[in-house]
Structures are given as C-alpha cells and as structure tokens.
Amino acid sequence: MTRSVPDETRTRVLELRDLIREADYRYYVLDDPTLTDTQYDELYRELVALEGEWPELHDPESPTQRVPGVVAEGFEPFEHPSPMVSLDNVTDEEQFRDWVGSGDRYLRSEDERRYSVEPKIDGIGLELIYEEGVLVTASTRGDGLVGENVTANARTIRSIPQRLRGDDVPAWIAIRGECYCRKEDFFAFNRAAEEAGERTFANPRNFVGGSLRMLDSRIPASRPIRYFAYALGGVRGASFDNQDAILEAFRSYGLPTIPEARIVDGVDAVATRYAELVEARDDVPYEMDGVVVKVDDLALQERMGMRTRSPVWAVAWKFPAQRALTRLNDVDWSVGRTGVVTPRAILEPVFLAGVTVQHATLHNLDELERLQLQIGDEVEIERAGDVIPKVLRALPEQRSGDERDIVVPDRCPACDTELHRDEGKVALRCGNFACPAQITGHLAHFASRGALDIRGLGEKQVTQLLREGLIKDAADLFHLEEDALAGLERWGPKSAQNLLAQLDAARTRPLDRFLVGLGIREVGERGAKILARAFGTLDGVRAATKEELLELDEVGEALADSVLEWFGEERNEAMLERMAQGGVAPAAVAAPSGGAFEGLTLVLTGKLEELSRDEAKRLVEAQGGRAASSVSKRTDLVVAGPGAGSKLKKAEELEIEVIDEAEFLRRAGR
Ligand SMILES: [Zn+2]
C-alpha cells in the first residue's frame, strides 16, 4: 500500500501548484493575467488529477484545497484583536472641511496635512489574520468587537493568499479590507441565476454578504468574490510610519489593494481627487459609494485617537446619490428561456446620471412584495454605474387614491399556460416547453456549444426558421429538409447542406451534452454528467425513479424532482419520441472501463484515514465505479471506516459486502 511517488510526479505537482498560485496572483492581485482561462483550467485539472492519483502528495496549502469537502454547522464568534471601527460620514465639501478643521489642534506642522484618499468600496468588511505568513482566520466585522469566523469561505476567494509572499513577513498581522464583487461579474451572475430560476441579488453588497455566510463553502467558491486590503488591525514583527507604507507592504505580501488609492498633500488636493473619483464612478469595475480620507501619518493618527466608536483621524466622504423620484406607470412581465417570468417597472421617463430612464428592474416576486408598490405610485429609483436602474421604494404618503394594485399574472403572457412558483424559489415560471416566448432562447441554447454544438444555428437562424414555420421545437430540427432550407432568404444549397451536416453530427452527441440541451432546470453541466454516467442511456435517465436519483452523490431533492417532472411531461415525451424518429441517439456515457470497480456502486461511510472523502470518491470514479450517498439494495460495496453508523448497519441488513479502507485501497491497486 505504501508506494513511493516518482520524483518527476512530485516535481510536477510542486511546479503546478506554483504555476497556479502565480497565475492567481497575476490575475487577481496584479490584474495582469499571463495565462488564458483554458491554459489555467488545463493546469488546474492536471493538478487535481495528479493529487487524486497520489494522495501521498496531499498539502492543505495546495490551490486545489481552497474548498473544503464539508459543510459547516455554523459560524464561531471571533473577537477582533482591536475594534473594527466604523467611520463618520460627511456628504459635502463644507462638512469635509469642518472635519479637517476639527483635527487642526493635533497638527505639529503644515507638512502633516497629508492624506490617504481611497475609494470606499461597497462590500463587506473582512479581517484576515496571518501568523508567520500563513492565513489562520478570516472574520466579518460583526458589531466591531466580535465578528464571525468565516475562514473556510474566505479561503475560497482567490485574491486572498493562503500564504503571504516574500521572505520578510511579520510574525503576526491583522489585515483589514473589503470583500466585493465587480459590477460585470455581478450582472453576469444575476443573469445566469435569473435564467435558472434561482434567486437574484439586489446589489453586489448583498451578494457578497450572503455568500460569506454560506455554510457550504462550495457556494462562495463558485462565486466571483474578490478582496481589497486597506487597513492594519495590528502587527507584531514589523512597524510602519504611515498608511502609504502599509499599503505598500500589503502589495509586497501579495495582497490586492485598491488601485485608485492615492496619497495627496493638502485639503484642496483631497477635494480634487474626490471630484475625479465622482467622475470616474461609472468606469471603475466595482461599486464605489464615496471616498475614505485618512490622515496618512500613523503618529498623528495616534495623537488624534478615537471617539467612542469611530476614529477622529478618518472620515467617509460620500458620493452624491444617483437617485430620482418618478412615477410607476405600469409593470410588465417577460418570459425568459427557462420560462422564468420577471416583472419590470415601466416609469415616467426621468433624467438620471446622464441618461433617460424609462424602465427599472423589480427582480422577482419577493422584491415586489418587499416594495409594496402600487401602479401610479411615486417611486424613488437609483442608478449605479451602468446598472439597470432599480426601484428603491415607494412613497405611499404621496398616494392620491387612484393607484391600483399590481396584478401578478397567473397565466403566461406568451402562451397562457398556468404559471407556478417552485417551492422555496422566488421565480414565477411558465412550465410549457412549447411556450413561444421560450422557444427561441431554448433552441439557441439547445444548439449552443455547451449542449449539442450545432454551428450555424444561432439566435438569428432560429428566429428565421421559427418565423418561416419550418420548426416549432427542437425535435423539428431533425426532420428538416434540404430543399426547404435552401429556399430560405440568404440561404442556399451550401448553407443548407452545412446545417444538415451539423445536425447529423449532433444526433449522436454524448448523452450529458444532450441533457444539458434539453434545458431541464437544475440540470447544468455537472448534473448532466452525473445523470449520464449513472444511467448510461437516455432511456436509463427516463426510467430513473426518485429513489434512484437521490441515491446519487451530489443529487438533491430539487434536481431529482425537476428531472422527474420534465420526463413526466407528456409533450416532452412526445418531443423525445419525434427526436428519436429523426435519428437522435445520444451516445451512452460510459464510466472508464477496465477499472477495479467497473460498473459497481460504492458507498463510503465512517472516517477514512489514508484518503480524504473526495480523494476516495475520485478513486472510485477513476476505477469505473460510482460513489453513492446512501445504502440500498443497489449498492454493491460499502467501504466503512471507524465510526460508521447507520449505513453500515443497513449494509449488514441487506447483506452487502463491507470492506475497510485498507482493503479498498488494495482493490484499487494502491
Ligand atoms: Zn409560456
């Protein structure tokens, strides 16, 4: 069982870890990537594979170990080494100059009028503690004295180094900064969530805050959250004279700092920098809601000291709000690809932050309920950056009595199918696969690269084929005839033949890609792979029972129900039937063959000592088997470690073979 790792493997693993750490640093900290996403993914996958194959090389600091395999039960309170203070606010230049004046008596010379001016990022404060350069805790601000220990989630943020760079790191340091999400990442996330009928977030700050408080670290790991360091919470084994030196040190440790931060001399220079940042507000990639002005010199900060809850030496100078009042004229409802029906506010046009605003997002039903809007209401709207404006609140005190309630549709505005609201989800949904409003998006998705990859069939072509009546749904694609296609405007024999050839190749794409293409909700790329591998064929997936689905690792209630519902839908069955008649036969996805566990279903239970749970699962898969989460009569083998409980008992009842970890490793050829 003990084997020695070949030198070249060990060297390669160390090299891959270095390459990935360096790439993360270039990408997230320097904002100057050196690898393409594909190159990065290749390196990452190679490392995961080697570490799976050679558990001996396990290292908790490996870039692959940022996401733990376990779900936390809660967050421990964490007492900050010194209070995480909040700042007093000023809203205009006069107030700002008053703040400056109030500090005059502490000055020993005019040279001390030097300030650090940093954008105030609208995110969530996070304190990082490093001991001997190694990240030991990350905690939220909480009430300023005691926050929550969210270390596991913070480790998933790739702009936060697990280990500080350089040889000259302090013995202990508390670093404070902000977790945030870039605007474009935030919109992309919300768009995808909306498509999938998942909850969307009102702003990047809520998004980041919610993510940091997830008990399952895989969730924040999959979200585009970043970090900026901007303040020192305490240090041993180093000393700094001013804020400038602190930020410089942070950068040398490999921590990202806010690129727009500047050190300026004199009060006028602060006002100038403030005006520049107001101007740049829409162009920087993250939401700024003001600037933080700090006295640069730490000795002067010391002399100025603290009020009860806020420092005298720093202030937040807020940006003017980009808000306006207008009237809500109506609410309309649109249907997305997956059938999610979304409300949108139609507003009396109003000029706001450089553009005329006529529409605002209302997100979903929960948001509508929260806002308690009525049509005809005076509403306050806000526009931040190039964001779609949103409705902040209604002004019910302005009502005349002529307002009317917003009617939430109970039927699809496009196809009149009865709408439903999934349990636990905020989305209102049209479940009709044949809904005309969904079909265009559906077909484009079916043909997209992650699904059947039918080149030459984009949204434009889909719209044309639908309009000309050549297709009504995805099944019709496989009954298209050359003559009909060639006769279309801007087509010809050549493009018709090309599309038919593409369709021909699509008929036998692997089952998982086909499942992605069907657009069954909850079934993304990963879910489709799991289903395809577990059941092998389309008929296998079709015949799966809820019990069988839930037995699969990583398959929960929502996915299982969604699959059953989709295949239970008569028109979906009919469509699959017509696809089959059109020659569609998705290729079975076979588990790697020839492995020690080929075709077997294994359940792992109890504590494993040699391997982590994830490593053991990967080993099962690499050897052609399937790791299931519960024991049933379809289980072939149970691997039980110390502490195994009910699963072991069930296995014994069902007379299923039980082996220990050593035997498992032996059979796997380790
Ligand atoms: Zn519909």
Question: pLDDT, tens digit, for every residue of 100-154?
Answer: 998 888 888 888 889 999 999 988 999 999 999 999 999 999 888 899 999 999 9
Q: Helix H segments across 140-182?
A: 151-155
Highest mean pLDDT among 82-91, 199-208, 573-582 belongs to: 573-582
**What is the average pLDDT score of the chain?**
88
Cα 99 to Cα 219: distance, rounded to the nearest angstrom: 42
456 Cα to the center of ligand 1, angstroms = 27
Let me know if 472 is a catalytic residue.
no
Cα 429 to Cα 425: distance, rounded to the nearest angstrom: 10
Supply the pLDDT for residue 91. 86
Calculated CA dihedral for residues 605, 609, 613, 618, nearest 10 degrees: -110
Q: Which residue has the higher pLDDT, 149 or 593?
A: 149
Supply the pLDDT for residue 643. 82
What are the structure tokens assigned to 637, written together?
Answer: 């083998």
Q: Span 528-534, mean pLDDT?
A: 87
434 Cα to the center of ligand 1, angstroms = 7
* Inter-CA distances, 27 with 34, 36, 123, 163, Å: 8, 10, 20, 17
Neighbours of 600 (CB within 10 A): 17
How open is the CA angle 471-474-479, to the nearest 5 degrees?
60
* Inter-CA distances, 159 with 62, 134, 226, Å: 15, 14, 6
Q: Identify the band that residue 69 occupies on the pLDDT scale cut at 50, 70 and 90.
A: low
Residue 202 has pLDDT above 80, yes or no: no
Rounded to 5 degrees, φ, ψ at 625 are: -100, -175
Q: Identify the band that residue 483 occupies on the pLDDT scale cut at 50, 70 and 90.
A: very high
Residue 1 has pLDDT above 80, yes or no: no
> 261: closest CA among 296, 299, 309?
296
197 Cα to the center of ligand 1, angstroms = 14
Domains and CATH numbers, the chain: 7-66 (1.10.287.610), 78-318 (3.30.470.30), 323-405 (2.40.50.140), 436-506 (1.10.150.20), 511-581 (1.10.150.20), 601-667 (3.40.50.10190)
Of how many residues is the chain composed?
A: 670
Supply the pLDDT for residue 337. 79
What are the structure tokens assigned to 544, written together?
Answer: 């799966």
Q: Which residue has the higher pLDDT, 153 or 65?
A: 153
146 Cα to the center of ligand 1, angstroms = 50
Supply the pLDDT for residue 108. 86
What are the structure tokens assigned to 567, written together?
Answer: 């295949």
Among 77-86, 121-130, 464-473, 626-635, the minimum mean pLDDT is found in 626-635
Beta bridge partners, 342, equal 334
Supply the pLDDT for residue 387. 63
Cα 513 to Cα 524: distance, rounded to the nearest angstrom: 10
- The pTM (predicted TM-score) of the whole model is 0.55
Cα 128 to Cα 562: distance, rounded to the nearest angstrom: 41
Close Cβ partners of 109 (under 8 Å, ≥ 6 residues apart):
none
Close Cβ partners of 168 (under 8 Å, ≥ 6 residues apart):
252
Q: Is 79 exposed, middle or buried (0-12, 13-18, 19+ CB in 10 A)?
A: exposed
Q: Span 521-528, mean pLDDT?
A: 84
Supply the pLDDT for residue 447. 92
Is there a contact between 177 and 231 (Cβ–Cβ < 8 Å)?
A: yes
Residues, CB-to-ion distance under 5 Å, ligand 1: 412, 414-415, 417, 430, 432, 435
Order of strands across the sheet with 314-318? Answer: 89-90, 314-318, 288-295, 114-121, 262-265
* Inter-CA distances, 89 with 118, 126, 329, Å: 14, 20, 36
575 Cα to the center of ligand 1, angstroms = 17
Residue 591 has pLDDT above 70, yes or no: no
